[in-house]
Amino acid sequence: MNEFKYGIDKLTVQVAINIADGKKRASLSEEAIDNIRASQQHVQEIVNNNKTVYGINTGFGILANTTISAEDTTILQHKILQSHSVGVGENIPLEIAKLMMITKVHALSQGFSGVQLATVERIIWHIENDIIPIVPAKGSVGASGDLAPLAHLFLPLIGLGQVYYKGMLHDTPDVLRKMHVSPIKLGPKEGLALINGTQFILSFAAKAVQRMHNCLEAADIIGAMSLEALTGTKAPFDARLHQLRPYTGNKLVAQRLRLLLHESAIMQSHVDCGRVQDPYSLRCMPQVHGASRNAWLHLKELTEIELNAVTDNPIILSANDTISGGNFHGQPLALPLDYACFAAAEIGNISDRRCYLLLEGKWGLPMLLMKDVGLNSGFMIPQYTTAALVTENKTLCFPASADSIPTSLGQEDHVSMGSISGRKLNQVLDNLEYILAIELLSACQAIEFRRPLKSSELLEYAHDYVREYVGFAAEDRIFADDINKVADIIKDFSFVENVNTFANNKSIELNKGFDMFQY
């Protein structure tokens, strides 16, 4: 596999996740090493020449006008990691912490932050040895960088904090001793460079791009299965209709639905049934799923800009040219993260509507998707769960970026709250994966009442794949077990990946012509 070069190559969501998963190697190029060394030399010249530059020989935030002596500049950088480690709450997933390190290395390696080469190499050492710092989830306001989480992330560089290593939680000094590694002595500006930046927001955004893409792909497949079970029509997916309102996401979803339903015997069996229109949750899938696709695309595009950006402050161009600005401000990601949050919640909303339709006992299906109801509750109660999760998602849709609270005694008087936006989006995706699992479970149950008729090759494959994990329910059982099994194949991407592989083997390109919707 081609090795990714930090600071030089373009970082994408897929590449970042592959590095985190160990599927792709990454290292510093000679050019990146030269850039890091040159930038660090610029900082050293600033200190030697007693030139006042924010964060190098001044305090931070409201203390920007407090001058720090040359001999205290290194102490200042050590203390900033300590003082800013104020995170609380549950720890973030280890994958997110690893993505934070990967994205920070890429930003530092571009040579505008003034850090030592040894510091960047130590972060890479943590990544390669899977020694992952423990980072509390709460405490960042998404401006001045993700200060608290990044401070926790880099405490291990100076021998403090805790790390997760070989399946266990350890105090950092114990692991460093075991590995015969000494803590880093930070130089001027390094502490500030480490905690300034959007890597917390960015890593949650990158993971959300991957997870939401999977949910959108799954929603089309599952929605098509529900439509088949409910003997709906594919007429609303006609390409000519969507060319008259040519939103890119809508056209993609309509194309996918046409291909997913192609040559279905179930579809053909009711062509002249006299039903004029299907309910919106079936008929309007291109418009609703498509709108969420467009929101996802916006998030992906901005996330990939941020993946390759320098979000430090100040920016070191040379010893005589530094810029103190606001590249650390999280607003460029906070807004699309909130937008994507609404879009993900709406996929769950329309999925729940289809779950409800499947239970009504209309169009030849038994009420509650079970023949002997009364003694059995059938699939009535799983829909209670989708209703609860949909409502929970609605409560998570308040845009964190709509709020701002001044910090640092008013010096930092507008903050993005994008860190909360990123966490909330991933919470909505947690719920969405379960909602889609319940619809998939219900659709598979319903399709079996259409036998001996068969659906399309793709949807029959999808049905059979689910049946490898969960069987038909002739009577009540503990449906939580079924839900969790189906949710697992959505969460680990195997449901979508296997359907896509089957489609490719049949020379069916579900996303042909829409490469922008890959990541």
Q: Which residues are catalytic?
A: 54
CA distance 464 to 448: 11
CA distance 84 to 96: 19
Q: What's the chain's Rg over C-alpha atoms?
A: 26
Collapsing DSSP states into helix, strand and coil, what is residue 504? helix
Tokens of 279: 């309910």
CA distance 148 to 81: 9
The answer for 428, left when phi > 0, alpha when psi is -120 to 50, beta otherwise, is alpha
Spatial neighbors of 468 by CB under 8 A, at least 6 apart, are: none
Q: Chain centroid to CA 215: how far?
A: 11
Do 369 and 446 contact (CB within 8 A), yes or no?
yes
Do 374 and 361 contact (CB within 8 A), yes or no?
no
Do 425 and 340 contact (CB within 8 A), yes or no?
yes
CA distance 184 to 488: 41
DSSP lists the bridge partners of residue 88 as 138
Other Cβ atoms closer than 10 A to 159: 17
Do 58 and 314 contact (CB within 8 A), yes or no?
no
Largest CA distance in the chain: 86
Do 87 and 137 contact (CB within 8 A), yes or no?
yes
